[in-house]
Structure formats: structure tokens, C-alpha cells
């Protein structure tokens, strides 16, 4: 076998044979793994289709479709409720401030107070309660867009500004 093609390679032909044998072994392992995966997939398919004919499978798909439609309707209803809650939230009082003060110096402490309650757009009311030893007076002023048409006392202005700064 002096004229053999393997002798003209320039390296030992056994290396080539061992390399090809290793490649065959790797391919054999790969084929076994793929056959196992195919068998598992077939088992899952068979389990899915077992006991199902075309009509019962159609019923299953119809039930899923009905459930999806119901979920879409519920989602729309939930979005409408959230929108209504957000509208109501914008109109509710979200920013408040209370400033206590002594209306009549030396006459019983800081029982007088100014309370401001504003919505998200700085609309709301300002209450001023003036307390004295003989009586208590409560005044309400309307606030629109953070401003009041009536003159404000120092304490009322302070309460209004503190409320407006809150987010």
C-alpha cells in the first residue's frame, strides 16, 4: 500500500480516523438528544389531543375567545372607573395647611388658626377662626387658582402659600 492516498497526507492517518470517530460520536449524542426532545414533544402533543375531537377542540377555543372578550370588557370598565376616580381626585382637597396664631396678644394663647384646603388646581377655601375669651368667629374665603378676591391677613396669606407649595 505504498501508493495509498493516506500516506501522502503528511501526518499519521490514524489521527484523521480518530477525529472522524469523535465527530461521529458527537453526532450520535446529538441525534439521541434530538430524538428524546422529539419524543417529549410528541408526548405533550398526544396529551393535548387525547380525548379531543374537532368539535371539543373548537369548544375549547370558543371558551378561550369568550374569556378574552369578557376580559376586554372588564378592562374597559376598569379604565372608565379609573378615569372617573382621577376626575374626582382632581376636584378633591389635596393640599392643606394650618397656621396657629394668637389673635389678641396676651389673651389666652394660640387658639386662633387659618386653614387652607386646595385641590390640584389651587381652588378651594380658606377658613380663619379668630378666638377670644368671650367668643369665637369663623370666616371663610373662596380661593380660585391660588388667589383670593378678599384681602388676607398675614396668617391667612402664610397658610395659603404653604398649601400652594404642596404637590
Asked whether residue 4 falls in the same domain as residue 61, the answer is no
Closest CA to 130 of 87, 99, 88: 99
CA distance 40 to 49: 14
Asked whether residue 36 falls in the same domain as residue 84, the answer is no
Whole-number average pLDDT of the chain? 87
For 107-163, write each residue's pLDDT tens digit: 667 788 999 999 888 899 999 998 887 888 899 999 998 888 888 888 898 898 899
Of 35, 63, 91, the residue that ends a domain is 91
Asked whether residue 14 falls in the same domain as residue 57, the answer is no
For 118-132, write each residue's pLDDT tens digit: 988 889 999 999 888
Report CA-CA distances (Å) from 46 to 38, 98, 103, 127, 142: 12, 72, 86, 75, 74
pTM over 0.75: no
Residue-range definition of the domain harbouring residue 29:
1-50
Asked whether residue 41 falls in the same domain as residue 86, the answer is no
Asked whether residue 118 falls in the same domain as residue 64, the answer is no
Asked whether residue 60 falls in the same domain as residue 42, the answer is no
Asked whether residue 13 falls in the same domain as residue 62, the answer is no
Q: How many domains does the chain have?
A: 3
Asked whether residue 137 falls in the same domain as residue 157, the answer is yes
Amino acid at each position: 500500500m505504498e501508493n495509498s492516498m493516506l500516506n501522502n497526507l503528511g501526518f499519521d492517518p490514524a489521527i484523521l480516523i480518530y477525529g472522524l470517530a469523535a465527530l461521529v460520536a458527537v453526532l450520535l449524542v446529538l441525534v439521541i438528544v434530538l430524538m428524546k426532545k422529539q419524543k417529549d414533544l410528541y408526548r405533550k402533543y398526544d396529551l393535548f389531543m387525547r380525548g379531543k375531537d374537532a368539535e371539543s377542540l373548537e369548544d375549547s377555543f370558543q371558551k378561550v375567545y369568550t374569556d378574552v372578550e369578557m376580559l376586554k370588557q372588564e378592562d374597559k370598565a376598569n379604565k372608565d372607573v379609573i378615569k372617573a376616580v382621577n376626575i374626582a381626585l382632581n376636584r378633591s382637597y389635596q393640599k392643606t395647611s394650618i397656621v396657629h396664631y394668637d389673635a389678641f396678644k396676651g389673651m389666652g394663647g394660640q387658639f386662633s388658626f387659618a386653614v387652607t384646603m386646595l385641590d390640584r388646581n389651587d381652588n378651594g377655601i380658606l377658613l380663619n377662626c379668630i378666638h377670644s375669651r368671650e367668643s369665637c368667629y369663623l370666616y371663610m374665603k373662596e380661593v380660585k387658582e391660588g388667589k383670593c378676591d378678599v384681602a388676607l391677613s398675614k396668617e391667612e396669606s402664610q397658610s395659603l402659600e404653604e398649601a400652594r407649595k404642596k404637590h
